[in-house]
Amino acid sequence: MATTRKKATRISARRRPRPAARSPLAESTTSGQFYGGGQTPRTVEPEPTAGRYPRGHGRPDERITEEVRDRLTAHSYLDASDIEVSVREQQVALRGRVSDGRAKSLAQDVAKSVAGVHAVRNELRVRPRPAAKQPRAG
């Protein structure tokens, strides 16, 4: 009687099926270090999308201009009296003079923080400091 033996096949690491990609919405985490022992997984919630404009539509330039001006005026360190704000296609341009380099970068940061702003062009110039009086030799 002839016996037939099946040839053992070896599955290489290359041929092993890869696990299917999981959706970020389906990911779960546990509250402890290990899963088990009565711990239940919690589902990761997606980020809220409230306040986002539909594609191709954004915040009107007039509203951005108004909010940038209001925030510059309300900032305790900035003197916005010499700053001109203009907005075109959600890009803010800052022109004028400020007291120092810190005020220049703060004005840019304030403009960037307004919702709907895509870019800020900072054309602010730092006012020259008054020359210190030198004592007269004599």
pLDDT in tens, 41-91: 666 677 777 767 677 778 899 999 999 999 999 999 999 999 999 999 999
- Going along the chain from its start, the domains and CATH numbers come out as 61-126 (3.30.1340.30)
Is pLDDT larger for residue 14 or for residue 67?
67
pTM of the prediction?
0.58
Closest CA to 87 of 102, 67, 70: 67
Q: Are 118 and 92 in contact (CB under 8 A)?
A: no
CB atoms within 10 A of CB 64: 23
Share of the chain above pLDDT 70, in %: 61
Question: The tokens of 105 are what?
Answer: 């970068």
Query: Is the model's pLDDT at 94 over the cut of 60?
Result: yes
